[in-house]
Structure 1
Amino acid sequence: MLELRNVDKVYGSRGKPPVHAVRALDMDVPSGEIVALLGSSGCGKTSTLRMIAGFEEVTSGSIALGRRQIHRLPPAQRKVAMAFEGYSLYPPLTVRENIAFALKAQQLPRSEVTRRVDAIARLVEIDDILDSYPRAISGGQQQRVSLARALVRDADLYLLDEPMGQLEPQLRAVLRGRIKGLLAERGMTAIFVTHDQAEASALADRIAVMEDGILQQFASEKDLKNHPANLFVASFIGEPPMNLLQAEVARNDGGFGLSVGPDLVFQIRGDTLDKAAQKELEGSARLTVGIRPQKVAVGSGDVRLRVVSNQWLGDQSHIAGECAGKLLIAVTPQRIAARPDDVVPFAMESRHLHIFAGDGTCIHHAEAA
């Protein structure tokens, strides 16, 4: 079990204001779980990884691994293996020697070292360059060497910083499956940093969404999509992201009317809301409603959408259009015959709405699909 308690990281620089990179981070990662740190550039995910590894000091808070407090230990004593985004390979050593370096330090038999190196090299498809030097191989190959060097070790925790960012899409897809299988088969605990939602979804059991140094939500991909904690998660998770619209609130018999515009009004029954959500709606004049693009039905309905763009992606249409002065995105598996400036019917059901309070907190989730 990895436990982070109230972890802060502040970078100081002479003549410049301090940068608060990570703020009061609390996180528990059970043994055998694979976790993704997901967020935009500069959100604090790499700083978090480096504090766990010991390459950055913790400004405040604590980090424990397997009941050992490790945040004051040097990296070599933490039993943590890390694959760096910048590779950090040893130039004088061959690929084989780079991967075997930590194993030789453990004084394992030569046959065991060879077996392990050969196995992990085959898994990440670098077995044909084992006798090459880092300067003679490509950036994508160097990245796989760094990944192999981490995964070949015996460690309590594996940290992977953008582990496949330099790989071509086809190879990346293959290696995701292989690495996921390796981690799961051996019950390895792993945390990896990525900005790629597809990679996070493919590899991780849970995803920690970060922004501005703050953990926004820590949950499975399904929960992040169906139960976003706030506006940031709702707008960040999903491709395309959730449609978010400002709505005026009006009380009516049995519930509330949420008006995005004269032609787009949602009716919410009071008995579908919990007490906290009802109280928030009763005290609000305006708030934000959200609906996933996949829940915007194009081709039927009483509301009209003026098409701005219509893209067929081979298996689905992405349609952007204007309604009530707002831009909406719809995704449908059907090919829609509509050109820019065409007006098409569409519908959005109230049961598919997420409702967000003034502070951005989600107070009501859409019905489960």
Structure 2
Amino acid sequence: MGILELRSVDKVYASRSKTPVHAVRSLDMEIGKGEIVALLGSSGCGKTSTLRMIAGFESVTAGSITLQGRRIHELPPARRKVAMAFEGYSLYPPLTVRENIAFALKSRQLSRAEMSRRVDTIAHLVEIEDILDSYPRSISGGQQQRVSLARALVRDADLYLLDEPMGQLEPQLRAVLRGRIKSLLAEREMTAIFVTHDQTEASALADRIAVMEDGVLQQFASEKELKDRPANLFVASFIGEPPMNLLEADVSRTDGGFRLSVGRDVALQIEGDALDAVARKTLETAPSLRIGIRPQKIAVGSGEARVRVASNQWLGDQSHIAGELCGHIVIAVTPGRVAARPGELVPFAIEPRHIHIFAADGTCIHHAEAAAR
């Protein structure tokens, strides 16, 4: 049993004048003590609604939320023992930065010295020691975001909720704070959920990532599992930079297996004994389906197939080559420079063991062999 459990949670925003919006649909999630979880997805996918329901700032339309064995969806926010850093900061204008951070500690009946020590420690961590005596109106948006983050992290809570906690910070400072915040959460075994649309941030901070789309939890797993064993087409196309290449392939039977053909240029032989029963049955009945391959798994400069180069970018440590293949744009990533100009034909190869196979409903029915090891 996890420290936090969401069971069949729904959120519907109803309005008399507008069509109801089903923001979160039948969400089930269990989070362990000390675990750091990212809610990752595009704008409007339901991640912030989920966070606000846990915090108590949005009501639950259906389902239950349990924290430390308490049904918190029935409690007001102040009784949930949840600390939250808001995307919109929500600082108290009449109070200084120091007073804003210390505000949540006043109910703990701590001594002034202990409160000051805690505030100074967290202020040092997020690099705002020099503005502790300033007021919110006189500091920048990035500084206000760090104050909001400090105000949440300074508390003693069962759960910490962070809504886009570093979205306003410059890249260098963001990278530094990621490491410091992850260390703080891990050292104190603080259970945390944060909302982000940034895959780099999710990968750097989270133990597991919950990928959401259209209010539905698509997959909840580690970054490695999301990349190596995506549950469906959405996860495969959303996770990774660049994302997985997805190609339409015709299916035909061969002795002992199947041939997956992408136009006339690529024919991949999949042996039957490499597939489980579900994948074999799907391939036996499907005239066509979609296959996926990570850009890093495409071999550039060898192979019988040819791709017409659309762009060739050198990023300092790797080349990103985009090209056209049978009406599809494919992207290959290779560590070396490739001498190819737009319009030229470049040889490339795809090995069958590196492909993922997706059924008509988008479910991944076969994962790449190399990823499965």
- The TM-score, its normalising length taken from structure 1, stands at 0.99
Aligned to 1:29: 31
Counterpart Cα distance in 2 of 1:323 and 1:6: 43
Counterpart Cα distance in 2 of 1:263 and 1:151: 55
Amino acid at match of 2:33: S
Question: Is the 8 Å Cα contact of residues 264 and 324 (structure 1) preserved in structure 2?
Answer: no
Aligned to 1:14: 16
CA deviations over 1:304-339 (Å, ceiling 9, x no partner): 111000001111110000122321100011011111
In the alignment, is residue 224 of structure 1 matched against residue 226 of structure 2? yes
- The TM-score, its normalising length taken from structure 2, stands at 0.98
Amino acid at match of 1:306: R
Aligned to 2:177: 175
Aligned to 1:134: 136
Aligned to 1:233: 235
Percentage identity across paired residues of the two chains? 80
In the alignment, is residue 339 of structure 1 matched against residue 338 of structure 2? no
Question: Is the 8 Å Cα contact of residues 353 and 370 (structure 2) preserved in structure 1?
Answer: no
Amino acid at match of 2:281: K
Aligned to 2:82: 80
Aligned to 2:161: 159
Aligned to 1:200: 202
Taking the TM superposition and a 5 Å limit, the aligned residue runs for 1:351-366 are: 351-366=353-368
Structure 2 residues not aligned, in runs of 5+: none
Amino acid at match of 2:154: V
Aligned to 1:46: 48
Counterpart Cα distance in 2 of 1:104 and 1:114: 11
Task: Give the 3-state SS of the residue equivalent to 2:343 in structure 1.
Answer: coil
Aligned to 1:110: 112
Aligned to 1:98: 100
Counterpart Cα distance in 2 of 1:254 and 1:364: 17
Task: Give the 3-state SS of the residue equivalent to 1:16 in structure 2.
Answer: coil
Task: Give the 3-state SS of the residue equivalent to 2:220 in structure 1.
Answer: strand
In the alignment, is residue 348 of structure 1 matched against residue 345 of structure 2? no
Counterpart Cα distance in 2 of 1:114 and 1:324: 65
Counterpart Cα distance in 1 of 2:42 and 2:32: 25
Counterpart Cα distance in 2 of 1:336 and 1:260: 24
Q: CA deviation at 1:111?
A: 0.5
Aligned to 1:68: 70
Counterpart Cα distance in 2 of 1:260 and 1:111: 70
Counterpart Cα distance in 2 of 1:350 and 1:363: 15
Q: CA deviation at 1:301?
A: 1.1
Q: CA deviation at 1:198?
A: 0.2
Counterpart Cα distance in 1 of 2:187 and 2:359: 43
Q: CA deviation at 1:105?
A: 2.2
CA deviations over 1:184-204 (Å, ceiling 9, x no partner): 000000000000000000000
Q: CA deviation at 1:231?
A: 0.1
Counterpart Cα distance in 2 of 1:326 and 1:117: 55
Q: CA deviation at 1:13?
A: 1.1
Structure 1 residues not aligned, in runs of 5+: none
Taking the TM superposition and a 5 Å limit, the aligned residue runs for 1:158-307 are: 158-307=160-309
Amino acid at match of 2:260: L
Counterpart Cα distance in 1 of 2:18 and 2:225: 40
Amino acid at match of 1:325: G
Counterpart Cα distance in 1 of 2:123 and 2:236: 39
Task: Give the 3-state SS of the residue equivalent to 2:369 in structure 1.
Answer: coil
Q: CA deviation at 1:368?
A: 2.5
Amino acid at match of 1:44: G
Q: How many aligned residue pairs are there?
A: 369
Task: Give the 3-state SS of the residue equivalent to 1:14 in structure 2.
Answer: coil
Counterpart Cα distance in 2 of 1:207 and 1:141: 27
Question: Is the 8 Å Cα contact of residues 304 and 345 (structure 1) preserved in structure 2?
Answer: yes
Most deviating of 323-332 and 96-105: 323-332
